[in-house]
Chains A and B, each alone.
Chain A
Amino acid sequence: MKKVLSLVLALVMLFSFAVVTGCGGNSDSSEDDFLVGAIYINGKNDTAGYTFAHHNGITKAMEQLGMDVSKQLKIVDNVPEDDAQVTNAINTLASQGCKIIIGISFGYINAMEAAAEKYPEIIFSHATGYLSNDKNFNNYFGRIYQARYLAGIAAGKKSLALGNNNIGYVAAYGTEYAETCSGINAFALGVQAINPDAKVHVMKLNAWANESLERQFAEQLITQYGCGVIAQHCDSAQPQIAAQDKGVFGCGYNSDMTSQAANAHLTAPIWNWDVYYKLAIETAKNDPDNFMTKVGIYYGGLKEGFVDISPLTNNCEEGTKEIIDAVKAMMVSGEWDVFTNVKLSIAADGTITKVDGAMLDNKGGEVISADNTYYVYADGALKAVDGGAAAQDGVIKGSMNWYVAGVEEK
């Protein structure tokens, strides 16, 4: 007994000694006034993926605003989409004195809605959501479809050069989610602008991330359907790596995937989250009362620099850059956009012509009419969506459930 006790005590003393000598009297200087709170779905020390992209955006924005990230940013990470745990995370951040709380995952929606009412003095900002109020609760997302259209042009140009009209697309989901659906459509429209005969073959994972399936589907698209370019809407670079291994080409997503598949990658639609975070944090700090008028429901695109494509690689065909720059300029200036009653037709020499007319889905239904009315399927039939531009954005973000002609789901 005594031996065991003395052993335990000796170890305790050893460790407490190590602790005492290890830490000197640093930290705790002046208390910073403005605190930013963030709730992440994965770890704050991640080095790739969705949480990493957001964390990077928040820290970059705070640095640009001259804030001390280590003191002024409070994070609760690895929070699953569970109302109880999200509420706990919000309560923790609120009781530490955070003045803006950022939630990056869709499933945080219930808890953030309730918290916005409970804490009227704190601003709540929710990525990918659809709820808001008029004082302290907004949502934000981006026109990533614009970037996907540009990536589609690069893929279409490549398919012409390869003489292969089959293009593959590994998607998390299909028409179930407007986010994936509008992405697939925009990419297909970009491809068809330059190669009208191209077909986009979609295989869906039914999960936002599944690395082994992502690779398997890409391989299947290449070997079974003869695809020469592989695009993707999923987390990892596996589809690009598979494309490289099989000697074909691809467009990544989320971050520049050139480093993972240097011989295959063309370009990737990417997010610049810091653009939004800078606006949101700055407004919350300096003018919180007008947050909803100054920031509001945020849906930035190429114009704001919120979405973009990664630099074109040497795998791209010659002349791709000029075409993409021209189309990008049209979207930045607001002269033209993807989901409209006007399509672009790009000739081999790079001349861009506008073609008026309705947009058809792959079942022959008119989904955007000649007078620019949007339609979505409801109970098996196409129904018109009225309510102007905001409602049309609502379709792209929330209710689009059709594929444009030329898209085939496998």
Chain B
Amino acid sequence: MTKSSKEPLIRVVKRQGIKTWQICLLYLGAVILALGIGAVLLLFLKANPFEYYEMMFTLNTVGNKMAYIQYETYIQELVPLLITSLALSLAFKMRFWNIGGEGQFFLGALAGAAVAFMIPTSANVFLTIFLMVVAGSLVGGLIGLSTAALKVKFNTNETLFTLMINYIALYIMRFFGETKADWNIFLRPDSERPKFNQIPDNAKMFTIPIGKFSLELSFILVILLVAVVYFYLKHTKQGYEIAVVGDSINTARYAGMKVNKVICRTMFMSAALIGAAGALRVSSVYALSDTISNDVGWTGIVVAWLAKLNPIGIVIVSALITILQCGSVVASSNFSNVDSHFADLLQGIILFVVLAADFFIRFKIVFRKKNTEKQSKEANV
């Protein structure tokens, strides 16, 4: 009796020595389980789950003459998510909770669009895109720097700070989108209703044609970025400093690191990359909107954590999540009973189950010792 009152029925204990193949199997099982739950829901909606999933995972490109369009869309969606996730992982590695990806993305997009509309249309495509990215990353970076500076000077809470800037940025975007005035360079001049204008041709993303398919310049940039971030975190002094600050600020101080400088520098980089992603997004989709971020500031957090802040992992996870997002649109357009909200639901189920699997990889549940368990069972009977 005394033993059972001391020891709870269920305990959570840190798991040790789990093998890689077991981790992979658990993740795979989690995804299949989530798809199984989704399949049951699809059956309720009178849709064939096999057909639905086939269309979702292949983006309905098998035997489709216009499949290249889907691949273009896929890359267009993948790039901002990948950059944002990488950028967030820099701050997260330092245990700096930058949840302001949305806001940094919006303001970077606005800055990029401002450059696009103000630069002479005779300017070279590469120069224009370069200046857009510079403007976007400067605006994003300065916002990131300001939150970091306030954190190190006054110990403000960066979670709340970055979160609130998201809403300010969103409403700044809406203000420009809804205010018809002569000074508002972002709107279509010929429309009676306020409507964001398309950027001039010289600000539109440069593409490399490969047959019918055209590859965005930004895709090449993002691949380079993955390599750079990987190298930066693993093989440079600054990358090492980030890891040490993340583990223990006091250790970092004791080792003689300028902790405040590391925090400010890393947060500037993190936010600047997200701002650059916003500017590239404008160049890629040709216009602003108050949903231009496509929630990458939020999804990026999930991607970064699922990938354990590992750059290669981030590439894999964001590639899979983008398949889910693009594929769901294609699949639901072919099923009259399944609307696009089902895609959000399915994503939610998958993330939930995968995160649960993640929990079981790191921890195990231990039940009370057998003899006491028996006693309590007998007592219940």
Contact = CB atoms under 8 A, between A and B. Distances in A.
Interface of A: 1, 4-5, 8-9, 11-12, 14-16, 18-19, 22-23, 26-28, 37, 43-45, 69-70, 73-85, 87-89, 91-97, 106-107, 109-110, 114, 130, 177-178, 398-399
Contact of A78 (B191, B197, B289, B341): B341
A75 B40 contact: no
Interface string B68-84: 01101100110000000
B336 A69 contact: yes
A109 B198 CA distance: 11
Nearest to A8: B29
A391 to B, nearest CB: 14
Interface in B333-373: 333-334, 336-337, 339-341, 357, 360, 364
Given A15-B40, A19-B49, A76-B340, 8 more contacts: A8-B30, A69-B336, A83-B286, A85-B289, A85-B294, A91-B72, A96-B330, A110-B198
Contacts of B61: 95
B137 interface: no
Among A44, A73, A114, which residue has the most Cβ atoms of chain B within 10 A? A44
Contact of A91 (B29, B51, B69, B364): B69
B12 interface: no
Interface residues of B, number: 61
Nearest to A87: B285
Contacts of B337: 45
Interface of B: 15, 18, 22, 25-26, 29-30, 32-33, 36-37, 39-40, 43, 48-51, 60-61, 64, 66-67, 69-70, 72-73, 76-77, 188, 191-193, 195-198, 281, 284-287, 289-292, 294, 326, 329-330, 332-334, 336-337, 339-341, 357, 360, 364
A95 B329 CA distance: 12
Contacts of A109: 191, 195
Given A84-B292, A95-B60, A19 B43 contact: yes
A77 B50 contact: no
A88 B343 CA distance: 15
A85 B196 CA distance: 14
B33 A110 contact: no
Contact of B73 (A9, A27, A45, A91): A91
Nearest to B364: A1
Contacts of A91: 69-70, 72-73
Contacts of B48: 23, 26-27
A94 B69 contact: yes
B192 A84 contact: no
Given A95-B70, A178-B192, A9 B334 contact: no
Given A19-B36, A95-B69, A178-B192, A84 B339 contact: no
Contacts of B330: 92, 96
A43 to B, nearest CB: 5
Contacts of B37: 15
Given A12-B36, A93-B333, A94-B69, A5 B18 contact: no
